Amino acid sequence: MSFVLFTLSLQIFISKIDYMANTKVHVVIMAGGVGSRFWPMSTAEKPKQFIDVLGVGRSLLQLTYDRFEGVCPIEDVWVVTNKKYFGLVKEQLPAIPEGNILLEPCRRNTAPCIAYVSWRIKSKDPKANIVITPSDHIVTNSSEFRRIIISCLKFTGETDAIVTLGMKATRPETGYGYIQADLSSSSPRNKEIYRVDSFREKPDLKTAIQYISNNNYFWNAGIFIWSVSTIVNAFRVYQPAISKIFESMLNVYGTPEEQALIDARYPECDNISVDYAIMEKAEEIFVCPADFGWSDLGTWGSLLMQTKKDLYGNSCIGKNISMIDSHNCIVHTLQQQKVVIQGLDNYIVAEKDGTLLICKLSEEQKIKQFSGEN
């Protein structure tokens, strides 16, 4: 290694040590969604975040937890989930303190979820720096993911900015929201971070094609980085009704009375996403474009795109699967000793606990009625 490269590496290492020493990082994993699109593998009782979707022996929730290794101590990892999933979270992430598993009594979208955990963390650590992440996405390059996260945490630890990650758009995807970035100049504090021009809803195909023809549109991954004071103040300004609910409970956070009061007050919150509630209203919004092999795994088709395939485009997740004259299929049969498939093209084949699904990939939306998803 040259002296210049060694010096640069040493400077980065020292900067990282200084930052971590002066800032308390908390990681929040949102794991309350029903996520039953991978039926029959996942159900409303055990949604996709708790399932070994990739056949690697770890659920999506566990993989999410794994990729934050080294970012913060275990005692500063939080999971927000529905009350009925408490046992699953505790079983799959036994190292997390039980008091860090926050339980929603009902579904109210991401804004109340984030508000709850933000005020809870603020009551413990008023200077906290926070990463918010969904529990049901995949990342194939974990080292690059951690590099980006630590870089953004340093930025939000020094500013009042809200940062969201923008994924490099590799195809005209109609199932994702988009972030339009102002790439004309980056932040003086971090050359990888840019101001957000606008957030765009899930587009039709024609609009998605227009987006990816430009280099300043990125997929919205729903991963956010901010200081606890920044997000709490944003709720106070843009969502005062939600703010008042969680502000009123400051004296009970971390006490035995917390859950009963949350059960009573949480249903009063508006059912609204953090994108609508905060991101589209706040001024100091930045995006960090990133490329670390991300997918939100919203469909069987997305799983096929993100997993290893054979020469004929088939992705087989299971121990003993034979494909004959078959192309572009996704097969997920972890419980079967032997599976032989002949003559299928663009199909889903999935089995779980005695239920077998065989469905055209193009028609997978029709199986929703069987999944128990509302």
C-alpha pair distances (Å), 99 with each of 261, 301, 336: 15, 37, 38
The pLDDT tens digits of the residues spanning 253-312 come to 999 999 999 999 999 999 999 999 999 999 889 999 999 999 888 888 888 988 899 999
Residue 16, pLDDT score = 47
Residue 136 has pLDDT above 70, yes or no: yes
Coil vs helix vs strand at 33:
coil
Residue 207, pLDDT score = 95
* Domain 24-295 is found in CATH 3.90.550.10: yes
Residue 323, pLDDT score = 97
Write the Ramachandran bin of 325: left for phi over 0, alpha for psi from -120 to 50, otherwise beta. left
Domain spans of the chain, in order of start: 24-295, 300-371
Q: What is the per-residue DSSP string for 271-339?
A: ---HIIIIITT-SSEEEEEE-S-EE---SHHHHHHHS---TTS-EEESSSEEEES-BS-EEE-TT-S-E
In 3D space, the residue among 224, 269, 308 whose CA is nearest the CA of residue 55 turns out to be 308
Coil vs helix vs strand at 225:
strand
Q: Quick one: pLDDT band at residue 71, thresholds 50, 70, 90?
A: very high
The values of phi and psi at residue 176, to 5°, are -115, 150
Instruction: Name the more confident of 24 and 4.
Output: 24
Report residue 56 as tokens. Answer: 């690697």
Percent of the chain with pLDDT over 90: 76
The pLDDT tens digits of the residues spanning 32-65 come to 987 667 888 888 888 999 999 998 999 999 999 9
Residue 4, pLDDT score = 46
